[in-house]
A and B are shown apart, each in its own frame.
Chain A
Amino acid sequence: MEDKEILEKFANPDSRNVAFNQLVRKYQQKIYWHIRKMVIDHDDADDLTQEVFIKVWKNLENFRQDAQLYTWLYRIATNECLTFLSSKRKKFFLPINDVAAELTEKIDSSPNIDGDEIQLKLQKALLKLPDKQRLVFNMKYYDELKYEEMSEILGTSVGALKASYHHAVKKIEEFIKRD
């Protein structure tokens, strides 16, 4: 079902639930994986994914169709991730490195992670990046979004995103070479 059709059906109280169910089915995986790569842990990703869709449910009627629906969803998911990681630091008075260490430990111990040595190293290298740079890297490298789409989601200029991605790749390569 096209986004436009979903939005039209959602506007009608009789078909609102059906339309929203379609929306969740269409975008759940993209949103979940976007979140999961940021928070690493499945249970956290599950909670945040549900929170994102509840926010979408509450605000979809006010969604202005100037933007694409999926960039709007990505933006909500991105904000949820950043808020989650930030509150994690504040809650436990943790510096950035300690949160990265905690997430790194999850990579080693979580039952829902399966990768060879180099893939695990890549994920650990990613955790060395600042949250926003990690977001940029994930969106470009894994989700293969265009810089223009990322710019709309993150509210950052295309030039800054290109520079951020370029530096992220360099840092990751350096980390893997060194380790």
Chain B
Amino acid sequence: MKDDFKLSDLPKRNIYEVPEKYFDRLPAQIMERTAGAGYSPAPWYAAAWKPLRLALAPLMLVLVLGVLYFANLNNKADQQNVNLAGIQDEDILNYLSTYAVLESSDFAELQTVSDREMTSEFLNVSSKAAEEELEYYQLDTIDY
């Protein structure tokens, strides 16, 4: 076969053949078979379904978005309730002392607290432990 063969150079031809008058007989054979085949009638809603589909699509979209919006609102409210109700005071204090960023209002509150006598109960620490801690950080030598 020549090396420069291109399919486009080949004339298109159907090499397959059918028996004589095959296409004259085929419709009758098929019609004969359809007589016993039955057919599936369209359901009663089929005619209305296409226009209904077009109308329902935007409606469904609005409905889904609405449901998502309200579900989201409820979730947020629930989440706040859970946060406030379920957490121990001690945990809140620990969190605040570790992570909270102090603001000027906090310092103002600190001032009111500092005017009061701080009991060991308020500090939640024994006097021995407090002394050891001060010694460790050498806080007693720092000038403020």
Contacts and interface: CB of A to CB of B under 8 A. Distances in A.
Do A and B originate from a single complex? yes
Interface of A: 16-17, 20-21, 24-25, 28-29, 32-33, 36-37, 40, 42, 46, 49-50, 53-54, 57-62, 64, 112-115, 118-123, 141-142, 169, 172-173, 176-179
Interface of A, secondary structure class, is helix
A57 B15 CA distance: 30
Interface residues of B, number: 32
A16 B16 CA distance: 33
Contact of B27 (A21, A58, A123, A172): A21
Nearest to A26: B27
Interface in B46-79: 46, 50
Nearest to A64: B50
B116 interface: no
Max count, chain A CB within 10 A of own CB: residue among B5, B30, B46 = B30
B31 A60 contact: no
B5 A177 contact: yes
A62 B47 CA distance: 10
Contact of A178 (B1, B15, B16, B39): B1
Interface of B: 1-3, 5-7, 10, 12-19, 22-23, 26-27, 29-31, 33-34, 37-42, 46, 50
Contacts of A114: 15, 17
Contacts, number: 98
Max count, chain A CB within 10 A of own CB: residue among B7, B33, B40, B41 = B7
Contact of A57 (B2, B22, B37): B37
B16 A112 contact: yes
Given A20-B31, A28-B27, A50-B29, A112 B18 contact: yes
B1 A119 contact: no
By Cβ-Cβ distance, the 9 closest A-B pairs, closest first, are A115-B15, A61-B42, A112-B17, A24-B27, A57-B34, A53-B30, A119-B15, A177-B5, A58-B39
Given A21-B27, A24-B27, A28-B27, A141 B14 contact: no
